[in-house]
Amino acid sequence: MVINLVLRVRANRTESLDWSGAASARRLLMPARETEAIILKTFPLGEADRLVSFLGRSSGRVRGVASGARRLKNRYGSTLEVLSHVQLWYVEKETRDLVRIQQAELLESFHKAQSDYGLSTGLAVISEVSELVLPEHEVSEPMFRLILMAVREIERTGDWALPLSYFAFWTVRLGGWLPRFDRCAACDSPFGVQPAFYGAQQSGLFCGKCRRPGMQVLHHEARVLAERFTTERLDRVALEPAMQGSAKELREASLAWIEFHIERRLPTRELLETA
Ligand SMILES: [Zn+2]
């Protein structure tokens, strides 16, 4: 599906020539950039436009305006839906942070996940975390691949339990925020097969003796799952019923560490609902 906004952009260019001088003339000469991208978030802007935050494979996280995107909603289809995988053409402006999105082409549809409420709550967490941990204009190939793999698996399996756990764990790992999984952060004693504990106010894992009130448990099985995640691709790990609890524990711990390091709560975390 190709959505072409060139006509409208041309109209705008003519207008901008009328109201300003050299700056907009220079802008006219800026060539369009092209990147493979994942849509992170979109917001309505004015009556007809959409503000779009995307992670470009070659641009990093960028915000831009898709003119007329609301008016052309039917023609856009799922091109600008959350976590759509697209090819984008945009023009950078010298004077503003926002780029102008000229054209978007859907590379891969995640229609099932985007249109199912339960699955979309999982997508919302991925979108929110990505938006908050990725610095603007910084290319991140590992995060690009991680997001895409997680969303593909949610779409393919119709379940976010394992993909979200994998995504959250790897986001912590790529962020360099992963605590030691074998020893207590306070007393250095090995966990062995004993449960470990984490809290919202700490970045580490603690043993039963050093745990503090309000800390959550991360059992040995969840730490074993983390080990599998470090060595196996998500699409090679099958979710067995016995793994559900571990996947949840690892997801919750990882999201807690993300919140600790970005120093804010993730509202979408509270909205997670299974399909
Ligand atoms: Zn300890």
Q: Computed from CA positions of residues 34, 38, 42, 48, in that sequence, does the dihedral angle turn out positive or negative? A: positive
pTM of the prediction?
0.86
Give the C-alpha distances (Å, rounded to integers) separating 91 from 99, 244, 259.
6, 45, 34
Could you report the average pLDDT of every consecutive run of 10 residues in the chain (275 residues)? 41 35 51 93 88 96 87 64 94 83 91 94 97 96 98 96 97 96 97 96 95 96 96 90 93 96 93 73
How remote is the CA of residue 193 from the centroid of ligand 1, in Å? 14
* Of 108, 127, 104, 130, nearest in space to 3 by CA: 104
How remote is the CA of residue 196 from the centroid of ligand 1, in Å? 9
| Residue pair 61/138 in contact by the 8 Å Cβ criterion | yes
Specify the pLDDT at position 29: 54
Distance in angstroms (rounded) separating the CA atoms of residues 265 and 203: 15
Can you list the domains of the chain with their CATH numbers? 2-109 (2.40.50.140), 114-271 (1.20.1440.120)
How remote is the CA of residue 174 from the centroid of ligand 1, in Å? 26
Distance in angstroms (rounded) separating the CA atoms of residues 272 and 32: 38
* Of 38, 41, 58, 52, nearest in space to 5 by CA: 52
DSSP calls for 102-133: EEEEEEE--HHHHHSHHHHHHHHHHHHHHHHH
- In this structure, the number of other CB atoms found within 10 A of the CB of residue 28 comes to 10
Q: Which helix (H) or strand (E) holds 91?
A: strand 85-91
Beta strands at 99-108 and 60-66: parallel, antiparallel or unpaired = parallel
- In this structure, the number of other CB atoms found within 10 A of the CB of residue 97 comes to 11
How remote is the CA of residue 243 from the centroid of ligand 1, in Å? 26
How remote is the CA of residue 181 from the centroid of ligand 1, in Å? 12
How remote is the CA of residue 162 from the centroid of ligand 1, in Å? 29
